[in-house]
Structure 1
Amino acid sequence: MGGAIIYPEIIGTLADTVFLVVPAIKKEMARYAERRAMGEEVEYHLEWNLIINKALEICLITMDITWDDGNITVVGFPSKAWEQVAQFMLYRNLMLLPDRGLIGDDNQLISPLAAQEGFLLKGIDKGLKKLANKAANIPPDLNVRGMMSYLSDILNFNRKVIKYGHFLS
């Protein structure tokens, strides 16, 4: 992908994993699935970031994945998806899926092929805690304080939910 922002479908959850469908990375994911099938381990570094385009009045959360081959996948979440992203803090892992067909009709069952074609990203909750701190420390001169307050509020609410052991429906 080379760093182009792509948008996912937020689908559902299973145990300690949330799963996303991102059809735009189907070809890329096939390459990593092939490497894993050959017994190779695929390394990655995951980071959550904010992209603020003041001129367009757009704020995005991005999930930036830097793969061991130097390729970068950037998945963007517009503000209308932030509440769902904040719910990711309730889960440790994220299963990145290249095809909607890997999900059952009830959005709760993942096909056995998902484990082969998808990619499990671990520790997504930790990165979201750092994202909450980034949002809280955005300089006021960017004039996006309202958006950042909203983001901080929903991320911190889910941090409190986790701390006290209550889960959202």
Structure 2
Amino acid sequence: MFKEIAFPEFIGETEQAVVLVVPALDQDLSVLFNRFHEGEEIDYWFKWELKSGETDGFMVALQIGWDEEDVISIGFTFDMWEYLPVITKRSNLVLMTDWALIEEGIAAGMDKMGRFRPKALLVRDVGQGIDELSSTVAEQAMFSEKSTELIQLLEILQRSFVSGYNMH
């Protein structure tokens, strides 16, 4: 089932991944985290989309889904678009819902029995689909009154491709 769009409260990067802290998704992801921690293999999918608001302009959304109806959506506003090439370059995204993992480290992810069970989801190859998003943005830019904003997004997305090629 489609939920509202949640926004990251923190975006950071390591050498291996971009880290997003989105506490608003804690309840939506708690069952999924429990299933992962119990060793269940869960197939998930993700896709990048361009969203437009009546007055807000445009937003990029990363949708992540599993099972048949569970979907979360993370929004990247105009101010966050500069992170898109970094996300593509790092290729991996760690989605966390608990600030304690940043503030306290590994100890915050330990349960009462001493098992490491962080409220975190690793999304691999998260840059896949940016090319499709770029095509959508280019198409929309041709017909939108707000084309300058879309052209700026397109330029940012194109940096994602250049970054990706430099990694090989």
CA distance in 2, matches of 1:85, 1:9: 16
The one of 111, 119, 126 equivalent to 2:106 is 111
The answer on whether the counterparts of 1:64 and 1:74 sit within 8 Å (CA) in structure 2 is yes
Give the TM-score taking structure 2 as reference length: 0.84
CA distance in 2, matches of 1:111, 1:127: 32
Structure 2: tracts of 5 or more residues without a match: 110-115
Give the TM-score taking structure 1 as reference length: 0.84
- Give the structure 2 partner of residue 64 of structure 1: 63
Aligned Cα root-mean-square deviation (Å): 2.2
- Secondary structure of 1:39's counterpart equals coil
- Give the structure 2 partner of residue 136 of structure 1: 138
- Secondary structure of 1:41's counterpart equals coil
Quickly say closer, same or farther: Cα 1:69–1:35, change in 2 above 3 A: farther
Cα deviation, residue 69, structure 1: 4.6
| Count of residue correspondences | 161
- Give the structure 1 partner of residue 149 of structure 2: 147
- Give the structure 1 partner of residue 36 of structure 2: 36
Matches within 5 A, 1:29-108: 29-53=29-53, 55-104=54-103
Cα deviation, residue 38, structure 1: 1.7
- Secondary structure of 1:138's counterpart equals helix
Cα deviation, residue 104, structure 1: 4.2
**Runs of 4+, deviation exceeding 4 Å:** none
